Amino acid sequence: MPNPLPLDGIKIVEIGQNVAAPFGAMILADFGASVVKIESLNGDDARHYGAKVGDHSSIVFEAFNRNKEAISLDLSNVHERQWLKNFIAENADVCIQSLRPGKADELGLGADDLLALAPHLIYGNIGAYGSTGPLNKMPGYDPMIQAFSGIMSVTGEADRAPSRVGVPLVDLGTGMWLCIGILSALNQRHQTGKGGVVDASLLETALAWMTIPLGLHSATGTVPKRAGSGISGIAPNKAYETADGQIMITALNNKLFFALADVLGHPEWKQDPELSKARARGKYCERVNDSVQQALLTRGRDEWVELLRAAGVPCSPIQNAEEVLNHAQTQATGMIDNSAALPTVLSALRFNGQRPGVRNKAPAHGQHNAKYLPED
């Protein structure tokens, strides 16, 4: 990676735990910012989530805290709290916090306190339900917000219970929105010399993901329902079983559907009035899906993928984590760093053709206390 990185020289203090704030801070660290992570004496809760790594870490903590330094403080101690307040005011360009709503203000570490000392500071808040409204003081986690925002109501099969999306997309999306806000505020500070406050929340991120279902309800008055791997009223566009696995097929316009019909050995579908037009296929989507499903049972997943791709039909095998990691395309992206015992998924973008890498693995609890804290 060329030196300097885009955010080289930017100093960030992260008072966050779990996923959203650490992920956002890690993105900025990947881009070259110096990030000092503040943990309690018990450490970030994420050190105790999922499979254990070493004596005091986990796969979750390791995944979202690379390229950072870490110090542990007792924020109930007025002297340590004052030290942190001074440290941020004197050293940081950015402060990120995701404590329980209202807690930062109680500790004298809120935006008003710190901006009064350091008007240049960019202060990033992450909350659960947002900074206003009747639930603004409530804590929350990704699954709760998936439920509250309606994401779970449109996820899963129609005849089964609502499902949680299998990755913490609300947490990760909130971290990304925070980064967008911080980078925008840094640019504005370059113009004005003044910092400010960037607010992000899990609920606001989830509502952004719900743009289409919320719009559909507003336009039609209907409540969007779960459609499994597909979309209601559009076909073929879902996961189908083959002789030995599942395949996702999206063949919406006539050109793609006709190509699919030929590959599946049913050219007569192109003349069928219920199948020959996209709008008709949406109206008779159950018939479309049943017909496609029956045809696909005659061959295996990978054989169908090869045939359909050769005909230009958009499709994909539904892969598990092992298959994804081992696939040549995944390897070709360079996103998986296998240099350490625990493979690392790197930043999802490149600068001038090169991807930011791991400068330092996730820090041990209190690893950098001696570097930053005064001796007793």
- 267-294 pLDDT, tens digit each: 999 999 999 999 999 999 999 999 999 9
Q: Looking at the structure, do residues 65 and 158 belong to the same domain, yes or no?
A: yes
Q: Among 276, 284, 244, which residue's Cα sits nearest to residue 260? A: 276
In a 13 Å sphere around the CA of 110, the CA atoms on its Cβ side amount to 12
Q: Looking at the structure, do residues 246 and 368 belong to the same domain, yes or no?
A: no
Q: Among 293, 153, 147, 164, which residue's Cα sits nearest to residue 213? A: 153
Distance (Å, whole) CA 368 – CA 234: 55
Q: Looking at the structure, do residues 255 and 163 belong to the same domain, yes or no?
A: no
What is the predicted pLDDT for the residue at 340?
A: 78
Boundaries of domain holding 290: 237-323
Q: Looking at the structure, do residues 153 and 91 belong to the same domain, yes or no?
A: yes
Q: Looking at residue 19, which CATH number applies to its domain?
A: 3.40.50.10540
Q: Looking at the structure, do residues 51 and 123 belong to the same domain, yes or no?
A: yes
Q: Looking at the structure, do residues 353 and 283 belong to the same domain, yes or no?
A: no
The structural domain count of the chain equals 2
pLDDT below 70 — which residues of the chain?
1-3, 376
Give yes or no for a contact between 367 and 66, defined as CB atoms under 8 angstroms apart. no
What is the predicted pLDDT for the residue at 114?
A: 98
Q: Provide, rounded to the nearest whole percent, the portion of the chain with pLDDT above 90.
A: 92
The verdict on residue 265 lying in a domain is yes
Per the structure block, which two tokens stand in for 204?
A: 């606001």
Q: Looking at the structure, do residues 136 and 273 belong to the same domain, yes or no?
A: no
The verdict on residue 5 lying in a domain is no
The verdict on residue 328 lying in a domain is no
Per-residue pLDDT of 164-198, as tens digits, reads 999 999 999 999 999 999 999 999 999 999 999 99
What is the predicted pLDDT for the residue at 258?
A: 97
Helix, strand, coil content of the chain in percent (nearest 5)? 40, 15, 45
Cα separations in angstroms, 5 against 10, 170, 191, 363: 10, 28, 21, 21
The verdict on residue 219 lying in a domain is no
The verdict on residue 230 lying in a domain is no
Distance (Å, whole) CA 284 – CA 275: 8
Q: Looking at the structure, do residues 158 and 199 belong to the same domain, yes or no?
A: yes
Give yes or no for a contact between 37 and 363, defined as CB atoms under 8 angstroms apart. yes
Give yes or no for a contact between 345 and 330, defined as CB atoms under 8 angstroms apart. no
